Amino acid sequence: MEKFTFFWRTASPFSQWHKADFTVNGVHYTSAEQYMMHQKALLFGDQITADKILKASSASVQKKLGRQVAGFDQTVWEAECKRIVYEGNEAKFTQNEQLLTMLLATRGTTLVEASPDDRIWGVGLAEEDPRIRNRRTWRGTNWLGEILTRLRENIGSDEDERATT
User: Which value, in Å, is the radius of gyration of the alpha carbons in the chain?
Assistant: 16
From 67, 95, 123, give the residue that closes a domain.
Answer: 95
Query: Residues 31, 91: one domain?
Result: yes
- Which pLDDT does position 162 carry in this prediction? 64
Query: Residues 102, 91: one domain?
Result: no
Domain range for 12: 1-18+97-165
Query: Residues 101, 77: one domain?
Result: no
Query: Residues 106, 143: one domain?
Result: yes
- Which pLDDT does position 160 carry in this prediction? 65
Query: Residues 111, 157: one domain?
Result: yes
Looking at the structure of the chain, the number of domains it has is 2
80-118 tens-digit pLDDT: 999 999 999 999 999 999 999 999 999 999 999 999 999
Query: Residues 54, 119: one domain?
Result: no
From 74, 95, 116, give the residue that closes a domain.
Answer: 95
Query: Residues 103, 90: one domain?
Result: no
Q: What is the DSSP letter of 46?
A: -
Q: How do beta strands 27-29 and 4-7 pair?
A: unpaired
CB 151 within 8 A of CB 93: yes
Side-chain-side CA neighbours of 7 within 13 Å: the count stands at 24
Q: Is pTM, for the whole model, over 0.85?
A: yes
111-153 tens-digit pLDDT: 999 999 999 999 999 999 999 999 999 999 999 999 999 999 9
Please work out, in degrees rounded to the nearest 5, the angle formed at the alpha carbon of residue 93 by the alpha carbons of 87 and 95.
Answer: 95
Query: Residues 106, 72: one domain?
Result: no
Query: Residues 6, 31: one domain?
Result: no
From 95, 123, 154, give the residue that closes a domain.
Answer: 95
Q: Cα(46)–Cα(13) distance, rounded to whole angstroms? A: 29
Query: Residues 12, 43: one domain?
Result: no
Question: Would you tell me the crossing angle of helices 32-43 and 47-55 to the nearest 10 degrees?
Answer: 170
Query: Residues 83, 129: one domain?
Result: no
Query: Residues 101, 91: one domain?
Result: no
